[in-house]
Amino acid sequence: MLMRTDPFRELDRLAQQLMGPGTWSRPSAMPMDAYRDGDQYVIAFDLPGIDPDALDVDVERNMLTVKAERRPLPRSENAQTELSERPLGVFSRQLVLADTLDTEQISADYEAGVLTLRIPIAERAKPRKISVNAGGDRKELDS
């Protein structure tokens, strides 16, 4: 038998039990980090214990949706639960992406329980130099 002494963990566990696991119609939130790294945005979602086949990443227009489902581990009929803290059910997160991101080039990797999305900045949004022509120095092009 496992023993714990953290009363705040117990309150979190009770709140999770009252709310129940996330469902497809009412998913739980998933923690994430987002940052810019050079010419791309990186978004990392914590999804430990999720089967890669249970991940769904979708982008429609500028709305990015990430859904995942954690199912219970198979157990024998004689197994008795002593402690259950790992949340089960459906997790989801939606983000509105800026028009300056290239949603056609999103890459996704899942390793060590972290889903990492890399979204490049669109070429049209990158800074560029504009050449300025002096009034009389304009040349005509031959057709």
Q: Which residues pair with 119 in a beta bridge?
A: 41
User: Which tens digits make up the pLDDT trace of 87-117?
Assistant: 788 888 899 998 889 999 999 999 999 999 9
User: Which tens digits make up the pLDDT trace of 53-97?
Assistant: 999 999 998 899 999 988 888 889 999 888 877 778 888 889 999
Write down the residue that tokens 């429609």 correspond to.
Answer: 60
Structure tokens at 72: 């219970």
What number is the average pLDDT over the span 25-32?
A: 74
The pLDDT of residue 28 is above 90: no
Neighbours of 115 (CB within 10 A): 22
What number is the average pLDDT over the span 36-41?
A: 92
